[in-house]
Chains A and B, each alone.
Chain A
Amino acid sequence: MGQIELKQVTKSFGDVQVIPPLDLTIEDGEFTVFVGPSGCGKSTLLRLIAGLEDITTGHIAIDGTDATGLVPAKRGLAMVFQSYALYPHMSVRKNIAFPLRMAKMDKAEIDKRVAAAAEVLNLGDYIDRRPGQLSGGQRQRVAIGRAIVREPAAFLFDEPLSNLDAALRVGMRMEIMELHKKLDTTMIYVTHDQVEAMTMADKIVVLQAGNIEQVGSPLELYQHPRNKFVAGFIGSPRMNLIEGPEAAKHDATTIGIRPEHTRLSTTEGTWQGTVGVAEHLGSDTFLHIHGIPGCDPFTVRTGGEVALSHGDTAFLTPDPDKMHRFDAQGLRIA
């Protein structure tokens, strides 16, 4: 079990309120991702759930029982830290056994559980080494191993992949998702990388300045961003946001058009502009078009081979069904 409920939770450091009153429910077994730019309060929120920070006001309940005043150890949660936080003076085996040792579990049970975790995570080859002798990916696995042996109500991940190189990151992403399917336990995962959020989450919580901007499944957020911030944050490359007369034509203060929802032509279209820099990814090309009124540059996503080069004239036509409209407050107009 692992349902986590936050009611009117706030957090202040001194006079600065970093989390304004916030309500959130994370269902049992859900993979929830907290995503937002750095300094948005996502890590603080995770630490509040973990009990590593006190909440200033409000309540936190885990599986229906109030956990607001509980010390971290009593909350039944496990955490994987950004730096992995392995105990450098202990072997991998001892690292993984540590939480069980603290729980005064008997030796045979500890050995059994450590062996099982090692099996799941393929730690067998380096179970008796020290963390200092392991690669980044291996350390990551040990950190996860230390978390799973306790059979916690929920796992908390604090940007666990940010110290890994790009290739390894994709691999670990898959492993964590596999693990979630296998264990079927609640996971809360903090990241600033919206790609990680989109690929991994059942539910995404977008945060900005301590506020929840939107909660929803990856596709909900992509298709129906509640406001301009979410629209700009989710999706890569970013959504083009156009203000001014062009937006007014659609009865909105701002209109948003995703790069992939724009047709490119050399002869005719709604808007005319000049081709700037092109980013070739092989499968796709991102073209930056200058001279579109209210948005410079405008990014277009198009096929791998493009006949246009720097300085050419290009015409753009947005897909009217996929256009997002926002009012003066930046909220979505339905």
Chain B
Amino acid sequence: MATKASRSAARLMMAPAVVLLMAWMLVPLSMTVWFSFRKYLPLRGGDLGFAGFENYGRFVSSSSFWPAVSTTLIIVGSVLVITVVLGVLLALLLDQPFWGQGVVRILIIAPFFVMPTVSALVWKNMFMDPTNGLFAHLWRLFGADPVAWLSEASTGSVVLIIAWRWLPFATLILLTAIQSLDSEQLEAAEMDGAGPLQRFGHIILPHLGRAITIVILIQTIFLLSIFAEIFVTTGGAFGTRTLTYLIFQRVLESQNVGLGSAGGVYAIILANIVALFLMRIVGKNLDA
């Protein structure tokens, strides 16, 4: 509801943002699609012509593809399970009255603000280093042999590093959601004879349903493109090569742009499937 004048002003003022994002999306995207159909090796002859769907076929049939897919799924899945389950528990804990709530909240949220390269390096060296890391000291204390975490339990270690950074995010959002629960609902349930577990199962958990879905979707989008944590810890070795990392290697390390771009198109499609679900939730929220 407004006048013609304000509507045209609105279009004008929206233009810069729309044009910029349009360019940001369309230009590189169409280039990626274009490259994905070319045999393009910048260091070995450059653009060697049309390749049809060959890159798409080769990317999928390469011996690194399925391991990368399974690594991606394992890492994303484990991080999601850990952060959501612990996140709900932590949110419940932080929602209780206790002394020093503010300080504890800050302690728990802090990891989210740590630069990914910093958290990866700190964990890799100061905790997981097989000779001098804290874990090694701890293992020796109990008479066990230190573990070379990032080569022997590489996936688990990467999951730990990533989950440490995202648990605070999940906790914070779930805590916000819990705090928005009308306490009268809980009191009504209590009057109706529901015990603490039943109150959790029938009132709190359903109330958190939407927040949990959002946490899962947003994290999935970010986790699918996890990069720095792998870049500085294992460099993709020891079975930690995710789809994102595989594409990165194809494009920048082995400079097979055509192949990497085909992989990029796969990644874009994958991300869009997840995004579609997220958008529907966010969109519904807009109407409210």
Contact = CB atoms under 8 A, between A and B. Distances in A.
A–B contact (CB under 8 angstroms): yes
A13 B2 CA distance: 10
A68 B3 CA distance: 12
B3 A54 contact: yes
Contacts of A51: 3
The interface centre, meaning the residue of B1, B3, B5 with most chain A CB atoms within 10 A of its CB, is B3
B4 A54 contact: yes
A13 B3 contact: no
A248 interface: no
A114 to B, nearest CB: 29
Interface string B1-31: 1111100000000000000000000000000
A53 interface: yes
Contacts of A53: 1-3
Main SS at interface, chain B: loop
Nearest to B5: A71
Contacts of B3: 51-54, 71
Main SS at interface, chain A: loop
Interface in A23-78: 51-54, 71
Indicate the size class of the contact surface on chain A: under 10
A13 B3 CA distance: 11
A52 B7 CA distance: 12
A53 B5 CA distance: 10
Nearest to A55: B3
A13 B4 CA distance: 12
Contacts of B4: 54
Nearest to A44: B1
A206 B80 CA distance: 61
A139 to B, nearest CB: 24
A14 to B, nearest CB: 11
A138 B3 CA distance: 31
Interface string A101-122: 0000000000000000000000
A90 to B, nearest CB: 23
Contacts of B5: 71
A53 B2 CA distance: 5
B71 to A, nearest CB: 52
A51 B4 CA distance: 11
B129 to A, nearest CB: 55
A125 to B, nearest CB: 37
Nearest to A71: B5
Contacts of B1: 13, 53
A71 B2 CA distance: 11
B200 to A, nearest CB: 40
B41 to A, nearest CB: 55
A51 B1 CA distance: 12
Contacts of A13: 1
A52 B3 CA distance: 6
B141 to A, nearest CB: 60
8 contacts: A13-B1, A51-B3, A52-B3, A53-B1, A53-B2, A53-B3, A54-B3, A54-B4
Interface of A: 13, 51-54, 71
List the 10 closest pairs (A to B, CB-CB), nearest first. A54-B3, A54-B4, A71-B5, A53-B3, A53-B1, A52-B3, A51-B3, A53-B2, A13-B1, A52-B2
Given A52-B2, A52-B3, A53-B3, 8 more contacts: A13-B1, A51-B3, A53-B1, A53-B2, A54-B3, A54-B4, A71-B3, A71-B5
